Structure 1
Amino acid sequence: MSIAIDIRHKIGALDLHAAFDIAEPGITALFGPSGSGKTTIINAIAGLLRPDHGRIVIHDRAVFDRERHINLAPRKRRVGYVFQDARLFPHLSVKANLFYGHKRSDSPLTRSACDDVIAMLGIGDLLSRRPNLLSGGEKQRVSLGRALLANPEILLLDEPLSALDQARKNEILPYLEHLRDTQHLPILYVSHAIDEVARLADQMVVMEDGKTLARGSVFDMLGRTDLGPLAGQFDTGTVLPAKVVSRDPKSIVSFLECSGQRFVVPFLGKRSGSLVRLHIRARDVMIARAAPPGISANNILPTRIMDIAGNSGDTLDITLGLGHGDGDGPPPRTLHARITAWSAARLKLAIGQDVFAVIKSVTVDGHMRQDGL
């Protein structure tokens, strides 16, 4: 399954020019600040907006091509759309909402497959309720189920967690992870929340002022400091693949392995051999010239300074290699630390130096992957 987008559209002050493709199943985050054109793009994919120029191709089928006068109606595009506010029909039961798109689909799922989706989302006990009796998280799960039961070729999620409080977000995030890991369809996930992107996304497309700035693996993109939307004071960080090695006897912490280094994180509840991804914010990484003794931080990792980049303020972004490599293999995994320029000068930091990255366990977010990394 693949999607190719190359469109231009003028709407108000926004001059949108979006050009990117999605070649594999999984979640691609469409990331950028408010007003960068993210929702306009997915509205164009869904057929809710006709771009001024360009084309949109889903699985080798042009659903929009301005020059060839192709503009398929939304229901013919096989696109599932989950909005910020769920948009369930208030006069229908949960069951009727779920099967609304299914009944109108040209390629509906079998009833057995529908039952599997309902079970996956944990909404079987809600079928007789009306939307006004659902929590925010339940509404979003029903909205997600309605989109999936229509058997789409692509799923569009427009900031589906933005209207939820943190408790409801924590409720629905595992369902989105399960969807990513078990459903073989491309998912375009609109967000400006870096924590959601780090936890869920496989790929990223970064937008700013209507322009596509960059696209790539979430592991590579989140460490970049040269992209405006990612270079904010609290955004730059690292996403690393890791493997659970063991746990302490009292199940207080989990021990992980990544690039030959041991990481200690709060207990993940996962068995040895499980694959996870770690999100480490640059602001949570300290640098020491020597391994500090008698410190509460559990992660004291030998690294090498690979790059030092300045910001617009008085801080620096330091790229740290987690392994020195053997010259023939892949480049080492990297960490990113954000420190003051004064600290860097005080420590006399320079590219090529061997230093220690110091990270508190409680600042590391670890999340399970079911399909590898």
Structure 2
Amino acid sequence: MSVSVALSHALPGFALNVGFEAPDGVTALFGRSGSGKTSVVNAMAGLLRPDRGRISVGGEVLCDTDSGLWLPPYRRRVGYVFQDARLFPHLNVRDNLEYGQRFSRRGRRAGIDHVVGLLGLEALLARRPGALSGGERQRVAIGRALLSDPRILLLDEPLAALDEARKAEILPHLERLRDDSRIPIIFVSHSASEVARLATTVVAMDAGRVERVGPAAEVLSDLSAVRTIGVREAGSVLTGQVAAHHSDGLSEVRVSAGSLFLPRFGAAVGARVRVRIEAQDVILARGRPEGLSALNILPGEVIEMRGGTGPGVMVQLQIGADRLLARVTRRSAEALGLAPGAPCHAVVKSVSVARLDVGVVDTVNPGEDQAAPVTAGREQDAPGTAGDDQGAPGMAGDSGEKTR
């Protein structure tokens, strides 16, 4: 179910001018804070009325300023999850989830047991929100939104307020949601690690404009993304297959250029995984180095180099079928004689790759490079929501949303 967005809107400090097509899967709106990401999803939910624009989901037009069409939020069937979960504090988890079902269409209610199992909520059903961790609250908020039977799910930086431990708790559930759901998911984030793990498609945004749209590995590994991400966050995404889990605590991932040895993670042997490698963690050598403690040495070739006003140079390499970014000093690049076409080796320390930077691509079809939805049960329907005309907190009818 494809999503089409074209918006123009005047905001304080800059003008929003965005257009993109999003295929099935998770589409990440990615960029620094203030780039207009939340304004886009607010317009999709009907919480922001753009000066000019057209938005459609699965062929159903939600907004078209040229024809004067404007569906109010409660008729858009949008599930919206915010940075703060906005659960009802006086209701337990089960009651919060069942409240979401009030907004699903009659006869099309999603099974609560399936959603509970998908998001790992079985042990939480009797608890109230005050007794939950931040990651648990966000999982409940996502479950409530799913049970409203939305045609699209909007996640506005749902991990931004969580620490690393809570992110590690929720990310596997979001990966399962990506692979299980047949509805499009728009995921807003300024974290390259989150986007690398979850996104099928990336819409890179800067100052209210779209810089690039494409598959996650291509966009994040491109030199043009550095301006959007920033040099300290720049990195690459390699897709590979888990070859083995070794007794010394390392997991081996086969990528197109060879093997990567990483701190042990939980994916099964044979599973397809994504590995994000930060550019600043890559060392370059013209010949294959010997006598190093680093286990990961991949042969490649320089494609392009780009420097700024500082001492650093960003180098893009072709590594097998993948592309890899390395950040080195200008002095090192000159000493090595790096230039487009030059052969070199990329060296990556195993311990430099955090566990949060390794994610499962598709647990069901490990032979595929991209996550594929595997469950049925939702098709596009005419607009309209059974039940009340006012949305619950965390759904598109909520009236107190932020716009930035």
The TM-score normalised by the length of structure 1 is 0.92
Match of residue 105 from structure 1: 104
Select which of 229, 254, 257 maps to 1:257. Answer: 254
Matched residue type, 1:209: A
For 1:157 and 1:108, locate their aligned partners in 2 and report how far apart those are by CA, in whole Å: 26
For 1:75 and 1:247, locate their aligned partners in 2 and report how far apart those are by CA, in whole Å: 49
Equivalent residues in 2 for 1:1-373, closer than 5 Å: 1-24=1-24, 26-106=25-105, 109-110=108-109, 113-227=111-225, 229-248=227-246, 250-323=247-320, 332-364=321-353, 365-369=357-361, 370=363, 371=365, 372-373=368-369
For 2:270 and 2:125, locate their aligned partners in 1 and report how far apart those are by CA, in whole Å: 37
Q: Is the 8 A contact 2:32 2:229 kept in 1?
A: no
- C-alpha displacement of 1:135: 1.5
Secondary structure of the residue aligned to 2:253 is: strand
Matched residue type, 1:359: V
For 2:266 and 2:282, locate their aligned partners in 1 and report how far apart those are by CA, in whole Å: 25
Matched residue type, 1:245: A
Secondary structure of the residue aligned to 1:233 is: coil
Matched residue type, 2:358: G
- C-alpha displacement of 1:163: 1.1
Q: Is the 8 A contact 2:26 2:200 kept in 1?
A: yes
Q: Note the aligned Cα RMSD (angstroms).
A: 1.7
Secondary structure of the residue aligned to 1:100 is: helix
Q: Deviations over 1:12-59 (max 9, x none)?
A: 2231111111121x1111011111111111011011111111111111
Change (3 A) 1:104 1:256: closer
Q: Is the 8 A contact 2:109 2:147 kept in 1?
A: no
Matched residue type, 1:37: G
Secondary structure of the residue aligned to 1:117 is: helix
For 1:6 and 1:353, locate their aligned partners in 2 and report how far apart those are by CA, in whole Å: 42
Q: Percent identity?
A: 45
- C-alpha displacement of 1:269: 3.5
Q: Is the 8 A contact 2:31 2:229 kept in 1?
A: no
Q: Is the 8 A contact 2:282 2:347 kept in 1?
A: yes
Q: Is the 8 A contact 1:108 1:150 kept in 2?
A: no
Q: Is the 8 A contact 2:223 2:316 kept in 1?
A: no
- C-alpha displacement of 1:338: 0.7
Q: Is the 8 A contact 1:109 1:149 kept in 2?
A: no
Q: Deviations over 1:280-320 (max 9, x none)?
A: 11111100122222211001112112222223322111111
Change (3 A) 1:300 1:227: closer
Secondary structure of the residue aligned to 2:85 is: coil
Q: Is the 8 A contact 2:219 2:225 kept in 1?
A: no
The number of residue pairs the alignment matches comes to: 362
Secondary structure of the residue aligned to 1:296 is: coil
Q: Is the 8 A contact 2:300 2:317 kept in 1?
A: yes
Secondary structure of the residue aligned to 2:182 is: coil
For 2:160 and 2:196, locate their aligned partners in 1 and report how far apart those are by CA, in whole Å: 16
For 1:108 and 1:51, locate their aligned partners in 2 and report how far apart those are by CA, in whole Å: 34
- C-alpha displacement of 1:108: 6.0
The gaps in structure 2 that reach 5 residues or longer are: 370-404
Secondary structure of the residue aligned to 1:104 is: coil
For 1:199 and 1:85, locate their aligned partners in 2 and report how far apart those are by CA, in whole Å: 21
Deviates more, 1:197-206 or 1:92-101: 92-101
Change (3 A) 1:308 1:103: same
The TM-score normalised by the length of structure 2 is 0.86
- C-alpha displacement of 1:61: 1.0
Secondary structure of the residue aligned to 1:173 is: helix
Q: Is the 8 A contact 1:265 1:362 kept in 2?
A: yes
Q: Deviations over 1:329-372 (max 9, x none)?
A: xxx32211110001111222222222111110112332222243
For 1:244 and 1:120, locate their aligned partners in 2 and report how far apart those are by CA, in whole Å: 23
- C-alpha displacement of 1:260: 4.1
For 1:347 and 1:44, locate their aligned partners in 2 and report how far apart those are by CA, in whole Å: 50
For 1:227 and 1:292, locate their aligned partners in 2 and report how far apart those are by CA, in whole Å: 30
For 1:23 and 1:107, locate their aligned partners in 2 and report how far apart those are by CA, in whole Å: 28
Q: Deviations over 1:174-202 (max 9, x none)?
A: 11111111112211100011111111111
Q: Is the 8 A contact 2:300 2:346 kept in 1?
A: yes
Matched residue type, 2:209: K
Which protein, 1 or 2, shows the higher relative CO under an 8 Å CA cutoff with sep ≥ 6? Answer: 2
For 1:68 and 1:107, locate their aligned partners in 2 and report how far apart those are by CA, in whole Å: 30
Change (3 A) 1:107 1:338: farther
